[in-house]
Amino acid sequence: MPRYEEIAVLIEYMDALLFPASQTKELNYLNNEIKYGIGNTKFADVKLSGTVYNRFRISLVKRNNITPIYTRSISTETHLHFEDDLPETHVLHRKLSGARMFILNRPEKLNALNLEMIRNIGPQLKAWDVSKLAKVILMKGVGKGKFSVGDDILDVLTRAKAKDPDALYFFQDKFRLVQMIATLQTPFVAVLDGYALGGALGLFVHGPFRIATEKTIFATPEVSLGAFLNSGSSFYLSRLDGEIGPYLALTGDRLEGIDAFYAGIATHYIPSSRLAALEDRLIDLETSEHEIIQRVLEKFVDKKPVERVGFPKEIRESIDRCFAFDTVEEILAALEREKSTKWTRETKQRLTTFSPTSLKVTLKALRKARNMSLVQCLNMEFDLIQKFLVTRDFHEGVEAAFTSKPRRKPQWQPPQLTGISKDDIDQLYFSDPSPNDLALPSKMDLRSYPYSRFALPSEEEVRLAITGDGPEFKMEGRLKEEDEIISWFVNGHKGKWGVREKILDIIDRKTVSTEEEGLVWLP
C-alpha cells in the first residue's frame, strides 16, 4: 500500500474513533477572570472540528514520519498496529505474540500524561480489544518514574491560562479512555513499578489486573495543588474499605509497595525482579481468559510472611473513626479527640494547609459517588474540572508548586475552612452545570467492578458473610467461626495469596467473639 494511502486510512480511522457524529457540537471553553469561586465567567466558542483537530492530524503524520503501518487480515485482525518502536513518541506500542503492550515513554517528565499520550493510547486500545489475536494487553512505563506521576498539570495550567481548548480536551479524551479501560473485553494488566500518582489512576485502577511491586508509590495529591480528582477517582476511592478513600484523597498520603496491595489499589504484589519473567509468560499465552491470567499472576507473587496488613491497626481504626464525617471541620474535630501521635499531628497539618475549597469539594464528591455509577462519576468530575480550571486556587497551587523558584506556600482564597461554607460549595460547584457535557464513546456503565474477584476481598464482603446480609447466605445462614470464614474466602478466591492475612486483619478489627453467637460484627 502506498504511504499516502496508509496515512489516509490512519486519519480516517482516527476521525471515526476520536470524533463521532455525536461529538461534533461546539465546545465552550471557560474564559474567566481568575478569582475566588467561579468569578465573572465568560465563554469563547471553539469548534471541535477546527484548527485543534487539524493541528493534531498534521502532527500525527509528522511525528510518526509515516511509520505506523496499517495491516489488513480478513480472517483475523483489521486494525492498527505499530510494527516498530517509535522513539520520538511518548507512548510506544509493542506486538509480542499474543500480547499487546503500551509503554509510557516520557521519562524526562516521569511519564506525566499529556493530550498527545491520551490520544495515542485510545484508538490503539480499541483496535486491540476487538482483535482476535490480542490475548492480553499490558501497560507499563520506562525511566525513573516507571509508571506515571499523573497528569502534566503544569501543561494543563499553561493551556488554561492561554484559553487553549486542549486544556479541556485533555480531560474529555482521558475520561473517554477511562470508560474504555473499565469495559474492555480483553484482559488488561497494568504494571505499577514506581510512581502511580494522581490522574494516572485512570489508566489502571479500573482494569482487572494491577501489579504493585516494592517500588510502587501511590498517592492522590490533587487537593495539595488546589485541584480536584479526575479519571473516575471518585468512583474508585469511594469504594475502598472503610474510610481509606476519603483519607487518601484529602491528605494525599502515600501507599507504598505491599500496602497498595492490601488497600485494594493493586490486585497482586510481585517483586520487580520477577516482572521480566512474568512478561515472557504472558507473551506466550494463547488464551484471553481472565481466570487463566489470574493463575499466571499468582505464580509470580511474593508469598513471604508479612508483619502487618496495610495500615497499622491503631491508625486504620483512627482513619475509620475520624474520616466517617461529611464535613472537613468534623473530621478535624474528630482528630482532635484522638490521642496525639505523629500521625494525628501530620494529618491535621495537611487538612489545615491544603486548599479549603478543594478539600470540601472533594469530600462532598466522594460522598455523592458512593451511590453513583462510573459514568455518573465521570460526568460529575468533568463538570467539576471545568469549574476548577478557572478557579484561583488551581492556578495558585500549581504555580506555587511548579513555577515558583524556590517553591513557596500557596496563598489560598479563602485561606481557611471557615471562609467557604457548605452553601457556598453547593452553589458554586454542585448546582449549575458547566457548559460542556462529556461525550463518551459508548453507553456501557458500571456500578461495581466485574473482575473484583481477582483482588483481595473487601471489608464489605466480609461484613455480609458475618452478618448474613449477603444473598448467598440467606439460605445456609451466616458464617460464625473464624476458620469457616477464612475457608470460604480462600476457596472463593482460588487460594489467592493475601486473602487469609486480610481476613484475619478484618476479623481482628471489626468483630468480637461470643460463646452464643460466634463472631459478631461491630457497628
Pick the residue with more confidence: 351 or 64?
351
The CATH architecture one would assign to domain 1-37+63-302+354-448 is Alpha-Beta Complex (3.90)
Task: Give residue-wise pLDDT tens across range 11-66.
Answer: 434 433 443 433 333 344 333 333 333 333 332 333 333 333 334 433 444 444 33
Q: Measured at the alpha carbon of residue 57, what is the angle toward residues 52 and 59, in degrees to the nearest 5?
A: 95
Task: Give residue-wise pLDDT tens across range 428-444.
Answer: 999 999 999 999 999 99
Task: Give residue-wise pLDDT tens across range 376-422.
Answer: 999 999 999 999 999 999 999 999 999 998 999 999 999 999 999 99
Beta-strand relationship, 78-81 and 99-104: unpaired
Question: What is the grid cell recorded at 143?
Answer: 525511566
Please choose, from the candidates 132, 122, 121, 119, the residue with its C-alpha nearest in 3D space to the C-alpha of residue 78. Answer: 132
Read off the pLDDT band of 475 (50, 70, 90): confident
> Mapping DSSP to helix (H, G, I), strand (E, B) and coil, where does residue 90 land?
coil
Instruction: Find the largest Cα–Cα distance for the chain.
Output: 80
Alpha-carbon span 235 to 251, nearest angstrom: 18
Pick the residue with more confidence: 281 or 146?
281
Q: Any residues with CB less than 8 A from the CB of 506 and at least 6 apart, and which?
A: 459, 462
CA count, 13 A, side-chain hemisphere, 139: 31
> Mapping DSSP to helix (H, G, I), strand (E, B) and coil, where does residue 136 land?
strand
Answer whether residue 222 shows pLDDT above 70.
Answer: yes
In the chain, which segments carry CATH 3.90.226.10? 1-37+63-302+354-448
Question: If you average pLDDT over every residue of the chain, what do you get?
Answer: 87
Task: Give residue-wise pLDDT tens across range 275-295.
Answer: 999 999 999 999 999 999 999
Answer whether residue 196 shows pLDDT above 50.
Answer: yes
Which has the minimum average pLDDT: 54-58, 151-155, 166-170, 252-256?
54-58
pLDDT at 145: 81
Q: What is the DSSP string of 159-204?
A: HHHTT-THHHHHHHHHHHHHHHHHT-SS-EEEEE-SEEEGGGGGGT
Rounded mean pLDDT of 87-109? 92
Rounded mean pLDDT of 313-319? 98
> Mapping DSSP to helix (H, G, I), strand (E, B) and coil, where does residue 197 land?
strand
Pick the residue with more confidence: 6 or 92?
92
Which has the minimum average pLDDT: 6-15, 434-443, 512-521?
6-15
